[in-house]
């Protein structure tokens, strides 16, 4: 098995062995602290353009199955791990970890000192990296390519509307890179769901006669989606709306809030979040590199619902008068704890209440 190298923009080098496709690639280097769920992570569209480092030391022991993908294929640019176990022992496994990477054409490195790598990421905050076949290659010293986050969103969004289910309420899911488990959570609530591209016009969405709107997760800097802020604001003023992860950030920005890049993000299934109304702390699944600045939100518009226990960052909010709510974490989990799955229940209840009230704005289509 041939040697490979991860070269950070800071100049640090990490040696490993190639797995998957043996090809050179670059991107932001991030890490996830979850102990399980590597298949869901690799297929999560929010990881598009990133080199994902697994903190847990053994990856691949239960293989890769045909049910737990969060999208149509692998979304990560590359993976970096310590020990890879390709002798899987789960009855649902269809392929090994390394085989899945190779089939998808995604490169990776194993036998990397991931503890030192994570320490380097935490030291440098945001850091770009490249997987290369040789150390000290001439192009490493050349200018690092600038990523266009809009291209990342476009690469993971559907290209035309797709419909699922036939429930009592119709939810339009605006796709910035949605996870399959979000769709499944809505279907469990007996919804009909139409997934539409992120660039779908307001007129087209209205023609679908939705009862509610869900703004999905997705990759990249939310400010690159600025052209769509006016549409998002009108949607929240017209329909009950739930925003998840990137969707949460987009609602905040549509109402004049601000977002900022985090030092190294929240990625894992063990992030404690406090419900400020009840005082209860719930464990959540998260995957984001940007956060809404709480002091940028007008308290006359939004009420804070959740804060992160570790860094007190804003994790959720709701509009003071409209049925609009958003969370930075993933209530559908997969992978992760299901402590906050009730948020989907609350969203559907808002849809039901608004349709029954028959207000001038929130009416049943």
Q: CA-CA distance, 292 to 259, in Å (whole number)?
A: 4
> Does 332 qualify as catalytic in the annotation?
yes
Catalytic residue selected from 40, 88, 332, 334? 332
Q: CA-CA distance, 109 to 13, in Å (whole number)?
A: 13
Q: CA-CA distance, 178 to 34, in Å (whole number)?
A: 20
CA distances from 89 to 35, 37, 93, 100, 359 (A): 17, 15, 8, 16, 56
Residues β-bridged to residue 275:
306
Radius of gyration of the chain (CA): 21
Element (H, E) at 93: none
Catalytic residue selected from 248, 266, 288, 330? 330
Q: CA-CA distance, 249 to 221, in Å (whole number)?
A: 10
Catalytic residue selected from 245, 266, 294, 334? 245
> Does 330 qualify as catalytic in the annotation?
yes
**What six digits make up the tokens of 213?**
């709107």
**What six digits make up the tokens of 62?**
């239960």
Reference 240, options 275, 212, 207, 276; nearest CA is: 212
User: Could you list the active site residues?
Assistant: 245, 330, 332
């Amino acid at each position: 098995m041939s040697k490979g190298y991860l070269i950070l923009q800071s100049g640090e080098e990490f040696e490993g062995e190639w797995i998957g496709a043996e090809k050179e690639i670059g991107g932001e280097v991030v890490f996830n602290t979850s102990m399980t769920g590597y298949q869901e992570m690799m297929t999560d569209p929010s990881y598009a353009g990133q080199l994902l480092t697994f903190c847990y030391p053994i990856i691949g022991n239960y293989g890769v199955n045909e049910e737990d993908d969060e999208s149509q294929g692998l979304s990560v640019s590359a993976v970096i791990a310590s020990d890879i176990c390709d002798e899987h022992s789960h009855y649902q496994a269809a392929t090994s970890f390394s085989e899945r990477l190779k089939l998808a054409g995604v490169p990776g490195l194993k036998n990397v000192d991931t503890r030192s790598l994570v320490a380097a990421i935490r030291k440098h905050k945001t850091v770009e990296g490249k997987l290369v076949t040789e150390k000290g290659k001439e192009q490493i010293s050349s200018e690092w390519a600038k990523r266009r986050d809009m291209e990342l969103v476009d690469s993971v969004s559907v290209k035309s509307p797709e419909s699922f289910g036939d429930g009592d309420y119709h939810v339009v899911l605006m796709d910035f890179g949605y996870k399959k488990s979000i769709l499944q959570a809505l279907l469990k609530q007996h919804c009909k769901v139409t997934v539409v591209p992120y660039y779908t016009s307001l007129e087209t969405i209205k023609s679908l006669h939705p009862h509610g709107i869900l703004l999905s997760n997705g990759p990249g800097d939310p400010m690159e989606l600025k052209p769509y802020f006016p549409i998002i604001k009108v949607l929240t003023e017209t329909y009950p709306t739930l925003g998840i992860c990137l969707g949460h950030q987009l609602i905040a920005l549509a109402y004049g809030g601000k977002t900022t890049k985090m030092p190294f993000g929240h990625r894992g299934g063990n992030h404690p979040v406090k419900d400020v109304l009840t005082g209860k702390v719930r464990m959540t699944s998260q995957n984001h590199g940007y956060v809404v600045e709480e002091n940028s939100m007008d308290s006359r518009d939004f009420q804070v619902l959740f804060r992160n226990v570790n860094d007190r960052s804003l994790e959720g909010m709701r509009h003071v008068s409209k049925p609009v709510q958003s969370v930075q974490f993933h209530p559908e989990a997969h992978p992760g704890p299901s402590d906050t799955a009730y948020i989907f229940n609350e969203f559907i209840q808002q849809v039901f209440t608004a349709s029954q009230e028959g207000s001038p704005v929130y009416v049943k289509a």
